[in-house]
Structure 1
């Protein structure tokens, strides 16, 4: 068995106690973090190594973005793509190197740009950068020829039931038709299987993000922005998938919750 988790932590140093708590409660073999918001030398490597997560691949940046993959099972860093073409730290890939069926599995950890507030690239360059990021990812995915799991904060809620109010959010960044179409092209480029919806079929509730504004939490106005996608052959080996929603109720939480998938490998 192999368990892999993903979590936009929204500052790993600020929330290291929550990471430690989550690892203690759920003990994934691999945890992929996004938005770590620190440089590599500032990453709390020792605190995580003390828990057995001695294998670490950190792609950091001062104050913003950043991703890190940590594991109790061995891996090697496999690559860092700059799909936004601006030097931001938004991806790290690892290849598992341990014995058995896990050997050679690729785990891609990505933090797709949010895209700003206005869904129009002509007046909002950030939105254009997001669409270009997804298009570059789709071209990359088209060439994949190995079992791959891609996880992270995709910043797109693709299905109508992935948001609390489809009609109200059609013109809101993260749920616009053009973003959904771009994400669909990425998925179809490799035939990725959306594990979140394989195990929690639409239209069942499946949110991973809620605004920090309290009324969003009270009304359960969430969105499914975080995803775990697998190559078809790897998806067939997935045995369970869960949301760790209790983290959102912890003191000073991230606005995202972790996702965990288990594989029979």
Structure 2
């Protein structure tokens, strides 16, 4: 486990609560590799899980937690869950209540978004697995891609999602604030925002996840009066902390990766962020996923 040095903040002292975001790349595989041991050792108060990649009957139980789940309708793909210590006051999924923003309808049944109102704190936690996307047609080069060129179809689909989700996110954030709740978006956003977020950022400028239009979108949803990039606020303007490394080659061992897992909080909650940790395993053979858990500790709200 790699412990990042906690960064002092202007948080209110208190017991606090820890929120983890973890793309498990298949919950059954992650559990075989030791997910339950990590959960028992780490003991976060809230856990957002992405890429369950299984049906409801195979998600399983998580001792000490209540699980709100949307596995989606695509077999073996996607799926999100939020684990909490107490039964949430409310749970909202796109499967039960389709998103209102134009352009998101085609994604509603895919198991990409779930939102819970915590029972023990005035916080709404939203958990997102954003489409990976692809390259626009003009950047696709046959023979130099892992996947068959698609004329930019996956890129266009991701951009439709981003456009619609920006509107939906704004609506959810304001709804929470009007209800007297802070709002926290966690998850695998499949977008790295700054040069600090990618090891080889110059080469990444022509890769999905770090394209100019994707980074521009990220910049449009964060800001001091909207949502704050909590991890960057704590970690500062320096490389990392990385959360994803390719399974291939020696990316993990050499720490060549990306920061695509995020926690974006309303300003009131962001000010209470105390520390950030990425639970990167000690060696490649101990990996639970191609992502590592991202854990942020917040001082309790007044």
TM-score normalised by the chain length of structure 1? 0.89
Q: Structure 1 residues 120, 93: CA separation in 2 closer, same or farther (over 3 Å shift)?
A: farther
Q: Which ranges of 4 or more aligned residues in structure 1 deviate by more than 4 Å?
A: none
Are 1:4 and 2:19 matched, yes or no?
Answer: yes
Residue number among 57, 64, 86 corresponding to 1:52 in the alignment: 64
Are 1:259 and 2:275 matched, yes or no?
Answer: no
Q: How far apart are 1:63 and its partner, in Å?
A: 0.4
In the alignment, structure 1 segments of 5+ residues that lack a partner are none
In structure 1, C-alpha distance between the alignment counterparts of 2:158 and 2:211, rounded to whole Å: 12
Cα distance per residue 1:231-253 (max 9 Å; x no partner): 00111122221111127745353
Q: How far apart are 1:207 and its partner, in Å?
A: 0.6
In structure 2, C-alpha distance between the alignment counterparts of 1:142 and 1:109, rounded to whole Å: 15
Cα distance per residue 1:41-63 (max 9 Å; x no partner): 22112xx1xx211x110100320
Cα distance per residue 1:137-170 (max 9 Å; x no partner): 2112323222101000000111011111111111
Residue number among 53, 77, 80 corresponding to 1:64 in the alignment: 77
Structure with the higher fraction of residues in strand conformation: 1
2:253·2:284 contact (CA, 8 Å) conserved in 1? Answer: no
2:69·2:81 contact (CA, 8 Å) conserved in 1? Answer: yes
In structure 2, C-alpha distance between the alignment counterparts of 1:260 and 1:187, rounded to whole Å: 19
Q: Which segment is superposed worse, 188-197 or 154-163?
A: 188-197
In structure 2, C-alpha distance between the alignment counterparts of 1:112 and 1:76, rounded to whole Å: 25
Q: Structure 1 residues 169, 158: CA separation in 2 closer, same or farther (over 3 Å shift)?
A: same
SS of aligned partner of 2:286: coil
User: Which residue pairs with 1:237 in the alignment?
Assistant: 272
1:131·1:182 contact (CA, 8 Å) conserved in 2? Answer: no
User: Which residue pairs with 1:35 in the alignment?
Assistant: 51
1:84·1:130 contact (CA, 8 Å) conserved in 2? Answer: no
In structure 2, C-alpha distance between the alignment counterparts of 1:187 and 1:59, rounded to whole Å: 26
Q: Structure 1 residues 91, 220: CA separation in 2 closer, same or farther (over 3 Å shift)?
A: same
Q: Structure 1 residues 189, 264: CA separation in 2 closer, same or farther (over 3 Å shift)?
A: closer
Are 1:22 and 2:38 matched, yes or no?
Answer: yes
1:4·1:30 contact (CA, 8 Å) conserved in 2? Answer: yes
1:156·1:179 contact (CA, 8 Å) conserved in 2? Answer: yes
In the alignment, structure 2 segments of 5+ residues that lack a partner are 1-15, 139-149
Q: How far apart are 1:14 and its partner, in Å?
A: 1.4
Q: How far apart are 1:21 and its partner, in Å?
A: 1.3
TM-score normalised by the chain length of structure 2? 0.79
In structure 2, C-alpha distance between the alignment counterparts of 1:63 and 1:166, rounded to whole Å: 31
1:37·1:65 contact (CA, 8 Å) conserved in 2? Answer: yes
1:248·1:256 contact (CA, 8 Å) conserved in 2? Answer: no
The count of aligned residue pairs is: 255
Are 1:119 and 2:136 matched, yes or no?
Answer: yes
2:48·2:186 contact (CA, 8 Å) conserved in 1? Answer: yes
Q: Which segment is superposed worse, 85-94 or 75-84?
A: 75-84
SS of aligned partner of 2:91: strand
Root-mean-square deviation (Å)? 2.0
Residue number among 91, 99, 103 corresponding to 2:113 in the alignment: 91
Which protein has the larger Cα radius of gyration, Structure 1 or Structure 2? 2
Are 1:167 and 2:188 matched, yes or no?
Answer: no
2:184·2:266 contact (CA, 8 Å) conserved in 1? Answer: yes
1:119·1:176 contact (CA, 8 Å) conserved in 2? Answer: no
